Structure 1
Amino acid sequence: MSLTNRKKQFLEKLMELYENSDLPVHYETLAKAIGVSKWTAYDMLKQLEKMSLLKKEYVVNNSDTGRSQIVYSPSEKAYNIFNSSSDENITVAEWEHVKQELIEMLVSLKKQKNPNVVSQRLLDNISKVNNKLILCANVITLLITYLKLSNDSKIPNIIHLFNLVHENNTKLAVFTGTVVGMFLTETNIIGIEVMSLASEHINIFGRLSIEEQTKITSFLMDALAL
């Protein structure tokens, strides 16, 4: 069983919750933090436990006398993964290739008989990529894809809002949050799973280096201008 990007996001969020509270984490707490159902969170935690990345224990639920609940804490193996340099570095040439490929996907939307082919390809990329910069670029491209399929007229307003913010990290979070917010009542256009996916990745922008934030912000502006 491999540590996919989605599993990694759940593990990282649980580690964050654990470190902030110094207490094992219940799956409902994790579900609320990520924005998924409690059953989705529980299933993911069971998979991570099987990979020896989490330790399970039973504690008494103070609000429900006599009953216990399952909680999880990160294992030493989990910390070793995040302490090692697991993020694949890419060269300038590789980054330029990724950008060109994603831009071509957006351009192809006008010619595609089935635009869902593009969004599915991006979702596949997101599930496999191990580099934060490339991951962010794919998430951004996915959101722009849904914007273009919905209504291009919304893009100028987003660009205007985007330009009012000065810090790159904030610009990226504002863009993602704005687009997801636009589609909260339009789940026929952007599925709940995709909204959840985008919401999960907002915090990744803050973990990019200053150089990476500059690169991804520049890519975002180029993609919006198409």
Structure 2
Amino acid sequence: ARNRIGNHVGTKDFGLDFCYRGWAVKLYWQNFIEDITGVGFRNAMDGIWGISIGQPNQWKLNYEFIHTYTYYVPFEERLALDDYFNNSVYRSGWTYKGYVLGTPLITSPVLLADTLIGRKLTNNRVIAHHAAASYTIGRLSLIVQYIYSRNYGNSEVISTLTSPMIQHNIALQAYITEIFPGLSLKTMIAYDKGELLGNRWGFNLSLSYRVEKLF
């Protein structure tokens, strides 16, 4: 890709909302702009394609298709790949302390055991499916999320990743508001399984208290 010095980024965001008798449907497409291919539509497949349907404040279903793997033919008339979130000038690309400033499916260097902070991103070619469902009843809200991804490394011929690497991620979240006046509880349990990040569990528990009047 022909990156300009400084490498500006952006996105094209299109959406369609439809509401009828308590039902809400949304279709959306977000397309990356990081080099000259993103200015037009030569990388039109790349980005996020999504649909959500539900009844506000009750339940919601959401599906997203994430794609960053488009081949394109630049002015030199040779087949090439976009190199998202990397930069030809700044070695660490679009990261902060080893974490990518954007979608978590572009793997942050700090999460890969064989990659050091400040190194080039080695996994920015991804094809993934994300599904989520939420349900609210009274003060309780539940959210379940699942991601299946195929990870192909980066645009260089030599990569530290074996292509493709399959990864599964699942998370369950629960929110309870007003356990006591002003006090809310949030908890989440998550599981990762696959060749990219390995197998690991995570758990989070937090309490928050809302103060309405200080004086």
Query: Could you state the TM-score of these two structures normalised by the residue count of structure 1?
Result: 0.21
Structure with a larger share of its residues in helix: 1
- The structure showing larger relative contact order (alpha-carbon pairs under 8 Å, at least 6 residues apart) is 1
Structure with a larger share of its residues in strand: 2
Report which of the two structures shows the higher radius of gyration computed on alpha carbons: 2
